[in-house]
Chain A
Amino acid sequence: MKFPVKPLAALMAALGGLLAVSAGAQAQDKHYKVFLDMSYSGNIWQAAAANGVKALAATPPYDKQVTFKTVISGTDVQRQISDLQSMVADGADAILIYPLSPTALNRVIRQACRRHVTVFTYDSTVTEPCAYNVSSITARYGANSAQWMVNAMGGKGTVVINHGVAGTSVTKTYDAQALGVFGRYPGIRIVGEFYGNWNDATSQQAVANLLAVHPDLDAIWTVDGTYGSLQAVMKARPDRLVTIAGQSNNGYRLLMADKAMQQKGLKGLSSSSGPAVGPYAFKVMMEVLTGKLKLDRHNVEYPLPWVPYQDVKMCPGDRFESGCNVFPNGKVPPLFIDTALDGTLLPELSLASIQDGTATPGARMQALPPVKYADNLPDINCSDCKAPADAMEPNLVKPIPVPK
């Protein structure tokens, strides 16, 4: 049998041409394979962070440059390790992880780095030095929020501590900072503590029970579960509210800003870790990957969201523009976390980005302002390292003198 030589040669030539064309296109406009490995999409915080990342990956020019995939590793470290291995095997250029352990992923991350994969984490951190950590765990939420409360209370009164999830590095770090600050003021008395597990319903039940025991309670310190804690006070003692610090749920910010509530004694601070750290980490990672940014150190700090009750400002539209930071009631559910958006560092995102993971129409990626490097925290974002001497002290709020 004879092959028709001519057509075959023509086909080969055509194929070769195609290959050459596509290679040329690649050189012009390199394509990246990027993975997001998230923990658990069953909670609002994780979902908001992941949607923000998805929206940025679909925002020009990344919509053309990036093949983006999301993997949910649940809450099982072993599964996260094997998921990371599959991503590396699949030819990932960069991986953004919500790490489930500060140390257990180190080996697989090292393997990824050896194969020139850029590895970033968001919110939670790892101690492996080849990975980049982007987090606000070094921004001293515990010390700053506790000091803000002490200042608002004039250095005296009774406080309930609403711990987060027992055994996590966030809980340990923030608790130590807050207890340190409260302990410096003899007028501040901690009358109750409980583990609210970052859960609003659990927090609400615990605060309701504590209020019956301590009817004169002055203040509640939380990391999350803030909205639920405040709901309990509003139901049991509607005419006398509390000083409270915690998360940034939209319903909570609206209550904080309400003049009638303030007259009943509500002094609120909205802070804590924001889901926007996810998309921010993605943005930093993409600038490193595309060579626009070179990081001298591997620990980057996402600035601590900080909105005391005086600073709440209503947003007329779907974005956080010109300093606004809360949506009207009914536009978003009360548990919507406002710190999923960031008007300064992430102007590309809008409400739809957080709710559906879609890019904002007409938005293009904006250049990042200079990043802030984070402090070292041993066993949290580095090993064999030392924390700065003032790591447990407030750095956003000036402490008031201890009242005599």
Chain B
Amino acid sequence: MSDSAVPMEAEGGRRRMPPEILPALGVLACTGLLIGLIKLVSPGTVLLAQVSAILVSAIFLAVASFGQGLAILLGGIDLSIGVVMGLGGMMISGLTNGSNDALIWAMPATLACCAGIGLVNGLGIALIGIPPFIMTLASATSFFGVGLGLTAGAAQAPVAPGLETLMSARGLGVPWPIWLLLGFAVIAIAFQNGSVTGRRLYALGSSPGAARVAGLPIGGLTVAAYGLSGLCAGLAGVLLAGYSSAATLTMGDPFLLPTIAAVVIGGARVTGGRGIYLGTLAGALFLSTLETLITVLSLSQGLRDLIQGVIIITALIAQNRPGANPG
């Protein structure tokens, strides 16, 4: 296959920079504005501590949203992310049982299982042709049931202390989760926009028909995207378990809708083929900052949900402006 099948290069060929970079920077700028607003509302705020707190609390959403971004890039969606996060957290605490030594094998085992759930999703979608939202919802429900049967809802074992330290200690004066977030972002961007597989995903997402004609391994790509989504959700769950020092089966649930919101706010096209991780990351940071601002303002739950909904709709409208959506 040749790279000329990739529309991204056809439109934005003047540079290696994808066209989505501007909206992503715009969202980052808005995030900066929100932080300024927090300082304005509450002058006692220590700005550096605030930014650090936001970055740390954004890591779970940022990691899980990468997988959601890949599913959406293919025009699909992954509704199993919340459940997989919960299962990942439960597994890591169950397998390590408070021992650091066990982390060496428990970590890969947990991540492999979570990626496995993603693979099941991908296989159902690619081979049997089940619509992604039904497939991922059904597998989430089934695997949640398995988890519930095995654990009765809460991990009976403590999280490995090493994982807790990782989520609370500092390296070079910066909390470790921020370093992790940075490393994850670099790898994710390199994969999505730098690797052959990444570029093939764009091709498949923007035109499945053309991708088929070009002879791309459609089934393999779909399975890979959902497998990665499961892996990322599992990783997010492991980090969340370390952060909160205890795991419950439902702890990932509040993250599912925000992963979709982060991807959409970041400028991805819901029908697939467009979107970069920098945008998703900006979306995740934006949502975390918004959450903080709402908390600082002590808004009621109803108003809080309303604001989040309005912002997602605004992001969708902004995308559909004429000219904003070449392709």
Contacts and interface: CB of A to CB of B under 8 A. Distances in A.
Interface residues of B, number: 44
A214 interface: yes
A194 interface: yes
Interface in B254-305: 254, 291-292, 294-296, 298, 300-302, 304
Contacts of A197: 254
Contacts of A166: 300-302
Interface stretch (A40-48, A117-125, A286-294, A368-376): A40-48
Contacts of A190: 298
Contacts of B254: 197, 199, 201-202
A234 to B, nearest CB: 9
Given A42-B250, A251-B245, A214 B42 contact: yes
Given A333-B156, A333-B158, A206 B295 contact: yes
Contacts of B49: 211-212, 215, 236
B52 interface: yes
Given A212-B53, A213-B42, A194 B295 contact: yes
B16 to A, nearest CB: 36
Contacts of B168: 235
Contacts, number: 125
Contacts of B46: 212, 215
A228 interface: yes
With most chain B CB atoms within 10 A of its CB, the pick from A41, A44, A47, A355 is: A44
B51 to A, nearest CB: 8
B246 A236 contact: no
B251 interface: yes
Interface residues of A, number: 47
Nearest to B296: A213
A210 B154 contact: no
Interface in A311-365: 329-330, 332-336, 355
B299 to A, nearest CB: 8
A193 interface: yes
Given A210-B296, A334-B158, A200 B50 contact: no
Contact of A47 (B154, B251, B291, B302): B154
A333 B53 contact: no
A208 interface: yes
A330 B98 contact: yes
B33 interface: no
Nearest to A51: B152
Contacts of A46: 153
Contacts of B153: 41-44, 46-47
B244 interface: yes
Contacts of B144: 42
Given A209-B292, A330-B98, A334-B246, A47 B152 contact: yes
B45 interface: yes
A46 B250 CA distance: 13
Given A42-B148, A42-B249, A251-B246, A212 B156 contact: no
B66 to A, nearest CB: 19
B44 interface: yes
A195 B301 contact: yes
B235 interface: no
A204 interface: yes
B42 to A, nearest CB: 5
A46 B246 CA distance: 17
Contacts of A336: 154
A327 B244 CA distance: 20
Contacts of B154: 43-44, 47, 333, 335-336
Interface in A213-254: 213-216, 227-228, 231, 235-236, 251
A199 B243 CA distance: 13
Nearest to A335: B246
A231 B243 CA distance: 9
A227 B247 CA distance: 12
B117 interface: no
B225 interface: no
Interface in A153-212: 161, 163, 166-167, 190, 192-195, 197, 199-202, 204-206, 208-212
A227 B148 contact: no
Given A201-B240, A212-B45, A43 B248 contact: yes
Nearest to B51: A212
B54 interface: yes
Contacts of B93: 333
A213 B50 contact: yes
Contacts of A211: 49, 53
Interface of A: 41-44, 46-47, 51, 161, 163, 166-167, 190, 192-195, 197, 199-202, 204-206, 208-216, 227-228, 231, 235-236, 251, 329-330, 332-336, 355
19 contacts: A43-B154, A47-B152, A47-B153, A167-B301, A190-B298, A194-B295, A199-B254, A200-B246, A204-B243, A204-B244, A206-B291, A213-B38, A215-B44, A235-B168, A236-B53, A332-B156, A333-B246, A334-B158, A334-B246
Given A201-B248, A235-B168, 8 more contacts: A166-B300, A199-B254, A208-B56, A209-B295, A211-B53, A236-B53, A333-B154, A335-B154
